[in-house]
Amino acid sequence: MHIHVKKDPQELLRAKQWWGKLEVQWKMALNEAVFKKGPTLEPPTDDELMVFLIMVDTLRFAGPGAHSPNMSFQLTNLSGLTGLLRLKFLSITNMKLTSLKELARHTNLQNLFVNDNQLTSLDGIQELVNLKDLYFQNNEIEDLSPIKKLTQLKTVYATGNKLKTLNGFTEEHADTIRKFHVIPNEDLRDKEIIKFQNTYGIICHKG
Protein backbone atom coordinates (compact mmCIF):
# COMPACT_ATOMS: atom_id res chain seq x y z
CA MET A 1 0.00 0.00 0.00
CA HIS A 2 1.38 3.38 -1.01
CA ILE A 3 1.43 5.99 1.74
CA HIS A 4 1.46 9.64 0.82
CA VAL A 5 3.13 11.96 3.30
CA LYS A 6 2.58 15.68 3.46
CA LYS A 7 6.11 16.98 3.09
CA ASP A 8 7.45 20.16 4.61
CA PRO A 9 10.10 21.44 2.17
CA GLN A 10 12.66 21.86 4.93
CA GLU A 11 12.00 18.40 6.33
CA LEU A 12 12.29 16.87 2.86
CA LEU A 13 15.56 18.73 2.29
CA ARG A 14 16.96 17.36 5.55
CA ALA A 15 15.81 13.86 4.61
CA LYS A 16 17.53 14.07 1.24
CA GLN A 17 20.68 15.42 2.88
CA TRP A 18 20.60 12.45 5.28
CA TRP A 19 20.38 10.04 2.36
CA GLY A 20 23.10 11.87 0.48
CA LYS A 21 25.54 11.51 3.37
CA LEU A 22 25.06 7.76 3.72
CA GLU A 23 27.95 5.48 2.84
CA VAL A 24 27.53 3.49 -0.36
CA GLN A 25 27.13 0.26 1.61
CA TRP A 26 24.24 1.72 3.57
CA LYS A 27 22.40 3.06 0.54
CA MET A 28 22.65 -0.41 -0.95
CA ALA A 29 21.61 -2.08 2.32
CA LEU A 30 18.51 0.07 2.75
CA ASN A 31 17.51 -0.39 -0.88
CA GLU A 32 17.87 -4.15 -0.59
CA ALA A 33 16.51 -4.87 2.91
CA VAL A 34 14.01 -2.03 3.40
CA PHE A 35 12.90 -0.64 0.04
CA LYS A 36 13.16 -4.03 -1.73
CA LYS A 37 14.87 -2.62 -4.82
CA GLY A 38 17.96 -4.76 -4.63
CA PRO A 39 21.49 -3.60 -3.75
CA THR A 40 21.38 -0.43 -5.84
CA LEU A 41 22.29 3.21 -5.26
CA GLU A 42 18.96 4.45 -6.60
CA PRO A 43 17.53 7.01 -4.15
CA PRO A 44 14.11 6.26 -2.67
CA THR A 45 11.11 8.33 -3.68
CA ASP A 46 10.31 11.34 -1.53
CA ASP A 47 7.39 9.49 0.06
CA GLU A 48 9.45 6.36 0.72
CA LEU A 49 12.18 8.39 2.36
CA MET A 50 9.87 10.49 4.53
CA VAL A 51 7.79 7.51 5.67
CA PHE A 52 10.97 5.65 6.55
CA LEU A 53 12.49 8.47 8.57
CA ILE A 54 9.23 9.34 10.33
CA MET A 55 7.95 5.87 11.13
CA VAL A 56 10.84 3.40 11.28
CA ASP A 57 11.17 1.68 14.66
CA THR A 58 12.17 -1.78 13.42
CA LEU A 59 15.10 -2.74 11.19
CA ARG A 60 16.47 -6.14 10.23
CA PHE A 61 19.58 -6.73 8.14
CA ALA A 62 20.66 -10.36 7.76
CA GLY A 63 23.80 -11.12 5.79
CA PRO A 64 24.10 -13.85 3.16
CA GLY A 65 25.20 -16.43 5.75
CA ALA A 66 22.10 -15.97 7.91
CA HIS A 67 19.28 -18.50 8.18
CA SER A 68 16.87 -16.14 6.42
CA PRO A 69 19.05 -13.55 4.67
CA ASN A 70 17.64 -10.34 3.26
CA MET A 71 20.97 -8.98 2.02
CA SER A 72 23.51 -10.18 -0.52
CA PHE A 73 26.54 -8.55 1.12
CA GLN A 74 27.87 -7.77 4.61
CA LEU A 75 27.81 -4.41 6.36
CA THR A 76 31.01 -3.30 8.12
CA ASN A 77 29.65 -0.56 10.41
CA LEU A 78 26.51 1.05 11.84
CA SER A 79 26.97 4.53 10.36
CA GLY A 80 23.68 4.31 8.46
CA LEU A 81 21.70 4.37 11.72
CA THR A 82 22.64 7.95 12.51
CA GLY A 83 19.49 9.92 13.25
CA LEU A 84 17.18 6.88 13.42
CA LEU A 85 16.63 7.37 17.13
CA ARG A 86 13.08 5.96 17.17
CA LEU A 87 14.42 2.45 16.71
CA LYS A 88 13.11 -0.10 19.21
CA PHE A 89 14.07 -3.31 17.39
CA LEU A 90 17.39 -3.70 15.59
CA SER A 91 18.82 -6.88 14.11
CA ILE A 92 22.11 -6.78 12.17
CA THR A 93 23.42 -10.32 11.97
CA ASN A 94 25.97 -12.31 9.98
CA MET A 95 27.84 -9.16 9.06
CA LYS A 96 31.36 -7.78 9.64
CA LEU A 97 30.61 -5.29 12.41
CA THR A 98 33.55 -4.51 14.69
CA SER A 99 31.98 -1.81 16.89
CA LEU A 100 28.66 -0.82 18.48
CA LYS A 101 29.73 2.72 19.38
CA GLU A 102 27.30 4.24 16.87
CA LEU A 103 24.43 2.93 19.04
CA ALA A 104 25.25 5.19 21.99
CA ARG A 105 22.32 7.56 21.34
CA HIS A 106 19.77 4.86 20.49
CA THR A 107 18.27 4.81 23.96
CA ASN A 108 14.82 3.69 22.75
CA LEU A 109 16.15 0.29 21.71
CA GLN A 110 14.44 -2.63 23.41
CA ASN A 111 15.64 -5.56 21.29
CA LEU A 112 19.16 -5.79 19.88
CA PHE A 113 20.51 -8.68 17.78
CA VAL A 114 24.15 -8.40 16.70
CA ASN A 115 25.09 -12.07 16.69
CA ASP A 116 27.53 -13.52 14.16
CA ASN A 117 29.68 -10.46 13.65
CA GLN A 118 33.29 -9.54 14.48
CA LEU A 119 32.69 -7.56 17.66
CA THR A 120 35.37 -7.41 20.32
CA SER A 121 33.47 -5.15 22.71
CA LEU A 122 29.97 -4.12 23.79
CA ASP A 123 31.09 -0.50 24.17
CA GLY A 124 28.30 1.74 22.92
CA ILE A 125 25.37 0.09 24.68
CA GLN A 126 26.09 1.39 28.19
CA GLU A 127 23.16 3.84 28.18
CA LEU A 128 20.61 1.68 26.36
CA VAL A 129 18.68 1.24 29.60
CA ASN A 130 15.46 0.16 27.86
CA LEU A 131 17.02 -2.99 26.39
CA LYS A 132 15.09 -6.15 27.19
CA ASP A 133 16.68 -8.61 24.74
CA LEU A 134 20.37 -8.69 23.85
CA TYR A 135 21.80 -11.29 21.46
CA PHE A 136 25.52 -11.14 20.65
CA GLN A 137 26.55 -14.77 20.30
CA ASN A 138 29.40 -15.78 18.01
CA ASN A 139 31.58 -12.69 18.32
CA GLU A 140 34.89 -12.07 20.13
CA ILE A 141 33.63 -10.19 23.18
CA GLU A 142 35.68 -10.50 26.37
CA ASP A 143 33.88 -8.18 28.79
CA LEU A 144 30.28 -7.71 29.97
CA SER A 145 30.84 -4.53 31.99
CA PRO A 146 28.89 -2.33 29.49
CA ILE A 147 25.64 -4.03 30.61
CA LYS A 148 25.99 -2.80 34.20
CA LYS A 149 23.16 -0.26 33.94
CA LEU A 150 20.94 -2.35 31.64
CA THR A 151 18.77 -3.65 34.44
CA GLN A 152 15.65 -4.26 32.32
CA LEU A 153 17.33 -7.10 30.44
CA LYS A 154 15.24 -10.26 30.32
CA THR A 155 17.11 -12.30 27.72
CA VAL A 156 20.84 -12.42 27.03
CA TYR A 157 22.55 -14.71 24.51
CA ALA A 158 26.34 -14.55 24.91
CA THR A 159 27.59 -17.93 23.70
CA GLY A 160 30.57 -18.34 21.41
CA ASN A 161 32.56 -15.34 22.62
CA LYS A 162 35.81 -14.92 24.59
CA LEU A 163 34.37 -14.21 28.03
CA LYS A 164 36.57 -15.05 31.01
CA THR A 165 34.34 -13.55 33.71
CA LEU A 166 30.70 -12.49 34.04
CA ASN A 167 31.49 -9.15 35.66
CA GLY A 168 28.90 -6.55 34.73
CA PHE A 169 25.85 -8.16 36.25
CA THR A 170 24.37 -6.73 39.44
CA GLU A 171 21.71 -7.69 41.97
CA GLU A 172 19.22 -5.66 39.93
CA HIS A 173 19.75 -7.92 36.93
CA ALA A 174 18.83 -10.90 39.07
CA ASP A 175 15.29 -9.53 39.37
CA THR A 176 14.70 -9.35 35.62
CA ILE A 177 16.90 -11.88 33.75
CA ARG A 178 14.86 -14.90 32.64
CA LYS A 179 17.17 -16.43 30.03
CA PHE A 180 20.96 -16.24 30.13
CA HIS A 181 22.73 -18.39 27.54
CA VAL A 182 26.49 -18.22 28.01
CA ILE A 183 27.73 -21.79 27.56
CA PRO A 184 29.96 -22.43 25.70
CA ASN A 185 32.58 -19.73 26.10
CA GLU A 186 35.91 -21.53 25.90
CA ASP A 187 37.71 -19.22 28.34
CA LEU A 188 34.90 -19.22 30.92
CA ARG A 189 35.74 -21.61 33.74
CA ASP A 190 33.24 -23.75 35.65
CA LYS A 191 34.16 -22.11 38.96
CA GLU A 192 33.30 -18.67 37.53
CA ILE A 193 29.92 -19.97 36.36
CA ILE A 194 29.19 -21.60 39.72
CA LYS A 195 30.21 -18.45 41.61
CA PHE A 196 27.99 -16.33 39.38
CA GLN A 197 24.96 -18.61 39.78
CA ASN A 198 25.38 -18.74 43.56
CA THR A 199 25.77 -14.96 43.81
CA TYR A 200 22.89 -13.85 41.60
CA GLY A 201 20.65 -16.89 41.27
CA ILE A 202 20.79 -16.56 37.48
CA ILE A 203 21.15 -19.92 35.75
CA CYS A 204 23.78 -20.13 32.98
CA HIS A 205 22.24 -22.05 30.07
CA LYS A 206 23.81 -23.71 27.06
CA GLY A 207 23.11 -22.75 23.47
**112-119 average pLDDT score:** 98
Task: Read off the pLDDT band of 6 (50, 70, 90).
Answer: low
* Confidence (pLDDT) at 36: 96
Give, rounded to a whole angstrom, the gap between the first and last alpha carbons of the chain: 40
- Dihedral angle sign, alpha carbons of residues 123, 184, 174, 106: positive
Query: pTM for this structure?
Result: 0.95
pLDDT at position 123 over 50: yes
Average pLDDT over residues 53-76: 97
Give the model's pLDDT for residue 1. Answer: 40
- Match domain 58-206 to its CATH number in 3.40.50.300, 3.30.710.10, 3.80.10.10, 3.20.20.70: 3.80.10.10
pLDDT given for residue 8 in this prediction: 82
Question: What would the pLDDT profile of 164-203 be if each residue is shown by its tens digit?
Answer: 999 999 999 999 999 999 999 999 999 999 999 999 999 9
* Domain spans in the chain, listed from the N-terminal domain onward: 1-55, 58-206
**Beta carbons of 167 and 143 less than 8 angstroms apart:** yes
Query: What percent of the chain stands above pLDDT 70?
Result: 97
**pLDDT reading at 22 higher than 50:** yes
pLDDT at 4 over 90: no
